[in-house]
Amino acid sequence: MHDHLTLISGRAHPALAHEIAGYLGIDLAAVEIADFPDGEISLKLNQNVRGCDVYLIQPTGPPVNTNLMELLILIDACKRASAARVTTVIPYFGYARQDRKDAGRVPITAKLVANLITEAGADRVLTMDLHAAQIQGFFDAPVDHLYAAPILDQYFDSLKLPAGEIVVLSPDEGSIKRSLRHVEHLGGTLAIVDKRRSSATETKQANLIGGPIDGKTVLIFDDMISTAGSIVGAVEVAHQSGAKDVYVSASHAVLCGPASARLREAPIRECVVTNSLPLSPEQQFPNLKSVSIAPLLGEAIRRIHSNESVSDLFD
């Protein structure tokens, strides 16, 4: 058994790290992180971690490369300071969309990043809603892969939406399994948007499969909202098909480029996301709702530290 559960936060999302520490009833470890004038990262642990069970909390969202490099440096510092075990807590795993060779002469960057994390010295990885579940196999270390779906479903349960009026609309064919899990919990029926991609950044929506959704409350779930093109396209399909209300929800609010403006202008009742990534004032809009994953991550950390089963948190 490793001694002394130790939480360390990088600069990517200190607010979430403080929430997790609060759930566990401990303080975050003291660490100094700054930037040299040339952009290099300066880091120093200000407390002893020798023999400790260390958890590094650092989502690798925008700026992805900076946050990833900072995570690697944190791992190295802890290993060189003789930590007994280092677990990287990565609520949002950047580069996850580059998980396969879908054309000639392209990298599999998700595998490269997994290699970097394990080579830096990570003994274990705790993450949530990977873009593709098989990325777990890219790591040469144990991976605990959590899902935000129960937390999001709990929020929608609180709205007391009549099950007979709910249609869960999958924004594309790849999200059908995710959407079915929400149907199993929330009730209602399933419909699918037939999405066609026209380029790496542009998608267009074609046909609606299933339904009908006329006069129904439509819930659209995705793993992330990046530029919001796909999910707003699905909202427009739902609206044109006569939906009474449309809610959109995602585990990760990347919200880059025109995303917030698109969501603000779309006919959406509410956009529900988790706090796996920090939200800047510029990214926020009136009907954006954030629910916390700190209790989920905190409980997973507690169980890993105590060598208890984590598997029932996966569902």
Q: Please report, for the domain that includes residue 235, its CATH number.
A: 3.40.50.2020
Share of the chain above pLDDT 70, in %: 95
Bridge-based pairing state of the strands 270-274 and 203-210: unpaired
Closest CA to 90 of 61, 62, 54: 61
Judgement on whether residues 76 and 200 belong to the same structural domain of the protein: no
Phi and psi at 83, nearest 5°, equal -60, 140
Asked whether residue 200 carries a pLDDT value surpassing 70, the answer given is no
Same domain, 167 and 142: no
Number of domains in the chain: 2
Tens digit of pLDDT for each residue in 247-274?
999 999 999 999 999 999 999 999 999 9
Residue 206 structural domain: 149-291
Both 111 and 165 in one domain: the answer is no
Asked whether residue 65 falls in the same domain as residue 38, the answer is yes
- Let me know whether 135 and 189 are in one domain: no
Quick one: which H or E segment has residue 26? none
Residue 91 has pLDDT above 50, yes or no: yes
191 and 254 assigned to the same domain: yes
38-60: b (≥16 Cβ within 10 Å) or e = eeebeeebeeebeebbbbbbbbb
Q: How does residue 2 score in pLDDT terms, banded at 50, 70 and 90?
A: low
Q: From the candidates 44, 111, 160, 195, give the one annotated as an active-site residue.
A: 195
* pTM of the shown model: 0.94
- 137 plus 231 within the same structural domain: no
Residue-level pLDDT at 264: 97
Q: State the pLDDT at residue 173.
A: 85
Percent of the chain at pLDDT exceeding 90: 89
Of residues 309, 304, 294, the one with CA closest to residue 57? 294
Residues 202 and 216 in one domain: yes
Both 187 and 121 in a single domain?
A: no
Residues 176 and 249 in one domain: yes
DSSP label of 211: -
Is position 195 annotated as part of the catalytic site? yes
Tell whether 131 and 171 lie within a shared domain.
no
pLDDT of residue 212: 87
* Same domain (yes/no): 134, 161: no
The alpha carbon of residue 142 and the mean position of all alpha carbons in its chain are separated, in whole angstroms, by 19
